[in-house]
Copies of this chain bind each other. A is one copy, B any other.
Amino acid sequence: MDDDCPVARILGIIGKKWTLRILYEIKMGDSVRFTDLMSSSHGLSARTLTKRLSELERSRLIKRVSYKEIPPRVEYSLTDQGKKLMDISGLIAKWAMKWDATS
């Protein structure tokens, strides 16, 4: 698989530890804050979460909206591309559950 294959590239992103979990939490919460993500994912460090969020933002799968309030508020939500990817991931999840049951 070439490095310039888009499928390999997206698997490289969503295959990273915590990434699908983070995307799933954002999808379920619609629009979530950093602290929501921290508290819903046991074992995930703030450092890793920061890294994953910025990877996902760069890949245009999530968007970061910062509200000019005191104290400042930042929320993450899925982009349209991210939503579509999560729909397809749902199909994989269904398939994987059946596949796993026959292991």
Q: 1/0 per residue A60-102: CB within 8 Å of B?
A: 1000000000000000000001001100110111011111101
**Would you call A32 an interface residue if the criterion is a C-beta within 8 Å of the partner chain's C-beta atoms?**
no
Indicate how many identical chains form the complex.
2
With A95-B88, A102-B60, A102-B81 already in contact, the answer to whether A12 and B15 are too (CB < 8 A) is yes
Partner of A7, one of B12, B60, B96: B96
Nearest residue in B to A20 (C-beta to C-beta)? B1
Contact A6 B91 (CB under 8 A): no
**Would you call A8 an interface residue if the criterion is a C-beta within 8 Å of the partner chain's C-beta atoms?**
yes
With both chains docked as a complex, state the minimum distance between the C-beta of A94 and any C-beta of chain B, in angstroms.
Answer: 9
- 8 additional contacts, CB 8 Å, given A1-B17, A10-B99, A81-B102? A7-B96, A8-B20, A9-B100, A81-B98, A84-B95, A85-B95, A88-B91, A88-B92
A contact residues vs B (CB 8 Å cutoff): 1, 6-12, 14-15, 17-21, 60, 81, 84-85, 88-89, 91-93, 95-100, 102
